[in-house]
Amino acid sequence: MSSHIEPAGHPLLAEVNPVAIPRQELVHHGRDFHWITEKVCGIVEAKTPVWWWWCFGVAAFVASFTVAGLIYLVGTGVGVWGHANPVNWAWDIVNFVFWIGIGHAGTLISAILCLLRQKWRTSINRASEAMTIFAVVCAGIFPVFHVGRVWMAWYLFPIPNANYIWQNFRSPLEWDVFAVSTYGTVSVLFWYVGLLPDLGTMRDRFTAAGNLLKARLYGFFAMGWRGSNRHWANYEMAYLILAGVATPLVLSVHTIVSFDFAVSLIPGWHTTIFPPYFVAGAIFSGFGMVMTLMLPLRAIYRLEDLITQYHIDCMCKITLATGTMVGYAYAMEFFIAWYGANPYEGFAFINRAFGHYAWAYWIMITCNVITPQFFWSRRVRENTTLVWILSIFVNVGMWFERFVIIVTSLARDFLPSSWGYYSPSIVEIFTFFGTFGVFSVLFLLFIRFVPIMPMSEVKAVIPQADPHGTGH
């Protein structure tokens, strides 16, 4: 390729002679179609590695904490968590918002970046979407089980019934039900549609290897995928439509989650900045979790040729951008509290930074505002271990953000006589800890049984996919 663009007829271009910026290579070492197929399918086809069993065992054990905690909760009452009047929402809603926030990166990567034709999404989108779905599963546990009578939680859904249950559509909690369930449904559909060609590949490979049981299983889920021209045309269109449907959802879900707080009257909740601030935070935390998961995966399965430094750079930069937006929102909350001259709001924010929960606030600031600033440095971005550690700080910081928002506002509302202090119970801590086990169990099953990268999409971004060599 020449290093300069051809003048393309325009005299001005000949005069200026702009430098062509070479496109970043998305697959290193000139890996070809066959290598990619072998690499991705090989992970599923290989014998289950020993580390996988260890991880699975530990994850399943940790997940059992959630199961036991929830059984105890249902049997005994929500009081087994640290809630009490007046702090009647605490870790339950914190954990819900935390997990649902993590679920944002997957759909952002697969839908918005697809529409924006960001080709670096290809090698990470499958795993991030899986992460999204599993995070939504974990998120769903908390709002369902935090209600006092979990056997009546189905009242939230407009199911045809003989009881004349009719939901209150003015309640932000009800909007939440729709936002989250829609998001979950569309994410699963999007993920599954994207999986079809790869499931077809797995079926064919297992058929060739003579493993008929697995061939049947993958064949069932491949829904008769044969890779015909018509299949591909329908597939591409379906994928594009789903990307279009999912794109507004990325923005709407956390907007609506933020309405739970923004629509109420409590100082520190009742602010208009919440929707954009929550969405930026969600994408921030989502990318944090994507990096936490993908970097070890990349190292274990030697995927450096497919998840290149360029991919890590891109993710770091998005984390930096959204983290800075979140930092801006923190500053703006203070500014508006002062500028708006509402004494209650002013107090709410001063109290966050210097009150009883100041420790949580400063953990949040450190992790969410300072941590991402390291990503300005190329040297940091190229140090995978450091990136991984920083990504964990992002996860911690975003959990504390939700804790600060929810607990400080409820613990210190309008009347000092209504103030309280909240601390979690052991049951609550273990239930939350266990959701990491639930998440890990699901993710480990995913990497064991599902191709972790969309082979066809990765193949489409290597030079061999472009026989005319025009680069377009």
Partner 1 sequence: MSLPETLPPPPDKTSDSAMSRRNFLRGSAAFAGLSALAASLSPLRELGDFSSSEEFMQKYYKEMTPDDMKRALARITREVEHQYGIRPHVRDLRPMDGVEFVYALNLTRCIGCRKCVHACVAENNQSRNPEIQYIRVLKMPHGSLDVEKGDHNYTPKSVPEPGFFYMPVQCQQCVNPPCVKVCPVNATWQESDGITVIDYDWCIGCRYCEAACPYWARRFNFAKPEIPPERLNPDMAYLGNRPRKMGVMEKCHFCIQRTRAGRYPACLEVCPVGARKFGNILDPESEISYILRTKRVFIQLKEEMGTNPRFFYYFDK
Residues that bind partner 1 (CB under 8 A): 64, 67-68, 71-72, 74-79, 83-86, 88-89, 143, 146-149, 151-153, 155-156, 162-168, 170-174, 177, 260, 263-266, 410, 413-418
Residue 56 CB, nearest distance to partner 1 (Å)? Answer: 13
For partner 1, give the closer residue by CB, 178 or 232.
Answer: 178
- Nearest CB to partner 1, comparing residues 71 and 465: 71
Q: Which is nearer to partner 1, 161 or 464 (CB)?
A: 161
| Structure tokens given for 201 | 């590949």
Q: Is 83 or 205 the residue whose CB approaches partner 1 more closely?
A: 83
CB of 381 to partner 1, least distance (A): 41
CA distance 373 to 389: 14
* Smallest gap from residue 209 Cβ to partner 1 (A): 21
- Residue closer to partner 1 (CB basis): 65 or 120: 65
CB 289 within 8 A of CB 102: yes
CB 274 to partner 1: min, Å: 15
Q: Say which residue the tokens 């210097």 belong to.
A: 354
Encoded tokens for 175: 């909007």
Query: What distance in Å separates the CA atoms of residue 41 and residue 33, rounded to the nearest whole number?
Result: 12
Q: 64 vs 207, which CB is nearer to partner 1?
A: 64
Q: Which is nearer to partner 1, 72 or 334 (CB)?
A: 72
In the complex, the smallest distance separating the C-beta of residue 124 from partner 1, rounded to whole angstroms, is 35
Under DSSP, is residue 146 helix (H, G, I), strand (E, B) or coil? helix
Tell whether the torsion through CA atoms of 248, 254, 260 and 265 is positive or negative.
Answer: negative
Would you say 98 or 120 has its CB closer to partner 1? 98
Q: What are the tokens at 26? A: 């998305």
Question: Residue 74: CB partners within 8 Å, gap ≥ 6?
Answer: 145, 150
Closest distance of CB 401 from partner 1, Å: 18
CB of 225 to partner 1, least distance (A): 38
Q: In angstroms, what CA-CA distances link 432 with 166, 168, 436, 447?
A: 32, 29, 7, 23
Contact 363, 395 (CB under 8 A): no
Nearer to partner 1, 142 or 287 (CB): 142
Cα 92 off chain centre by: 19
Q: Can you give 347-414 as a three-state secondary structure string?
A: HHHHHHHHCCCHHHHHHHHHHHHHHHHHHHCHHHHCCHHHHHHHHHHHHHHHHHHHHHHHHHHHHCCC
Smallest gap from Cβ 345 to partner 1, in A, equals 12
Give the single-character DSSP code of 166: -
Q: Which of 61, 134, 62, 129 is nearest to 99 (CA)?
A: 134
Nearer to partner 1, 11 or 148 (CB): 148
**Nearest distance, CB of residue 321 and partner 1, angstroms:** 32
CB 73 within 8 A of CB 429: no
Cross-strand pairs, 19: 4
Report how far Cα 78 is from the mean position of its chain's Cα atoms: 28
Question: Nearest approach, Cβ of 74 to partner 1 (angstroms)?
Answer: 7
- Whole-number Å distance between alpha carbons of 352 and 93: 18
Q: At its nearest, how many Å lie between partner 1 and the CB of residue 266?
A: 7
Instruction: Write the DSSP string, 173-219.
Output: HHHHHHHHHHHHHHHHHHHHHHHHHHHHHHHHHHHHHT-HHHHHHHH
Among 123, 125, 133, 126, which Cα is nearest to 109's?
125
Residue 153 or 386: the one with the smaller Cβ distance to partner 1 is 153
